[in-house]
Chains A and B, each alone.
Chain A
Amino acid sequence: DTGVSQNPRHKITKRGQNVTFRCDPISEHNRLYWYRQTLGQGPEFLTYFQNEAQLEKSRLLSDRFSAERPKGSFSTLEIQRTEQGDSAMYLCASSFGANTEAFFGQGTRLTVV
């Protein structure tokens, strides 16, 4: 499958623990996005990379959240000191260039207990 791949698919963690998610975009795509989706809502933008540079961060992205895309390929999203309010589906999407469609992965569902 050459689509966007996200791991793990599900993560259950205790409050206060750190978690890290991985996204592998479509190989030739230079743009990578992270979104968060909670029940009954559409996906909300978190952050964006063009190649390895993180160019935009939403105000939704608190200091406990950090994202990297070290070589312009895969990306990681880390949440430190998780809170119950962090429980959500975390989606990754990639695209090539501006004004093109984004392709989404299946997401990582985080449950904080």
Chain B
Amino acid sequence: AQSVSQHNHHVILSEAASLELGCNYSYGGTVNLFWYVQYPGQHLQLLLKYFSGDPLVKGIKGFEAEFIKSKFSFNLRKPSVQWSDTAEYFCAVTLRRGSQGNLIFGKGTKLSVKP
């Protein structure tokens, strides 16, 4: 079965530190890739997405992610985090073919940024 792995359960950083959150998926076919963010008390919001084209994707709030097909990875990065980035981050995939577009999520990574 298809799955998504997020390697870090909880990451604690100081403001201005760089961030990289790992995400790997297991599926040999073509996928769409997403990062969603959930700020405390709020709903899941799309941070960025990759469907095709340039594998380096830029999202909102200075986040970016790189799709490396050979590694089945879609890691999230931000060069300098802020206290307001404290949230839970979810990597997700949908299958291009053979699915109805339902998202397969990782378990999430909780990011705590110390001021």
Contacts and interface: CB of A to CB of B under 8 A. Distances in A.
Nearest to A44: B105
Interface stretch (A19-27, A35-43, A61-69, A77-85): A35-43
Contacts of B43: 3-4, 104-107
Interface residues of A, number: 28
A40 B72 CA distance: 23
Contact of A99 (B44, B101, B103): B101
Contacts, number: 59
B5 to A, nearest CB: 11
A56 B105 contact: no
A45 B96 contact: no
B41 to A, nearest CB: 9
Interface residues of B, number: 24
A95 B90 contact: no
B92 A42 contact: yes
A91 B105 CA distance: 13
Interface in B62-115: 90, 92, 94, 96, 100-108
B107 A55 contact: no
Interface in A99-113: 99-107
A56 B102 contact: yes
Contacts of B44: 43, 91, 93, 104
Contacts of A95: 101
Given A91-B44, A107-B43, A56 B49 contact: no
Interface centre among B46, B96, B100 (most CB of A within 10 A): B100
Contacts of A100: 101
Interface in B28-65: 32, 34, 36, 42-46, 49, 51
A91 B104 CA distance: 14
Nearest to B49: A101
B15 to A, nearest CB: 26
9 A-B pairs closest in CB distance: A42-B105, A104-B44, A45-B102, A106-B43, A48-B100, A56-B100, A104-B43, A43-B105, A42-B107
Interface of B: 4, 32, 34, 36, 42-46, 49, 51, 90, 92, 94, 96, 100-108
